[in-house]
Structure 1
């Protein structure tokens, strides 16, 4: 054991932490009690919680939708319209002009929706909401 480690574990140094521990956890709470008070959790539970907090699944889905959009649709459509978000089965797509809004929302809506549903599955995208932006 090195000298630095011995100094840090010296009783005088440990007592320096007592006021901090008392303010956080109440009087008489020691580092030893703190170490043993934490419940052990399976790593899978921790990973799931981190994924939820970082919205990894939502971000992965968004990336997948954009890649599919850019791959399966006609280049003309891709040039003038891009997905911005997916919420509750609604895909929001920004178009660059009212002309393209009319084209996609009126004349090509079912074609675009079916193409995306064939590529991604029918459950992911239920409706497409086009808007000029």
Structure 2
């Protein structure tokens, strides 16, 4: 019989969840303050970082910089736990308060 802690760790991938917190902390440094106001790391699964963007314009912009952003993440964090960065558009991408919905 396996210990419950092992089952919980396996179910929730706590290592990746903790690492996502580190990514969130350096995200503005990696993508820049302006871009960070329009996108945020959503989840990390099997080394694949999914980032949500608030518009198709930011999705297009950041997808074009995918390789550079991955290199910056690795350089900033000093690890290669992120194997790829993938972007998608959706609600909840904005970081900060009092965002103008018409921008």
* TM-score for the superposition, normalised by structure 1: 0.56
Alignment RMSD: 2.2
The answer to which structure, 1 or 2, has the higher relative contact order (CA under 8 A, 6+ apart) is 2
Gaps of 5+ in 2: 91-103
Measure how far apart 1:53 and its partner are.
Answer: 1.2
Decide which structure has the larger Cα Rg and report it: 1
- Deviation track 1:37-74 (CA, whole Å, cap 9, x = no partner) reads xxxxxxxxx6xx52651544332112111112134431
* TM-score for the superposition, normalised by structure 2: 0.70
Higher relative helix content: 1
Contact 1:51 1:57 in 2 (8 A): no
The equivalent of 2:17 in structure 1 is 59
Higher relative strand content: 2
Q: Distance in 1 between matches of 2:21 and 2:79?
A: 18
SS in 2 for 1:63: helix
Gaps of 5+ in 1: 1-45
1:82 aligns with 2:37: no
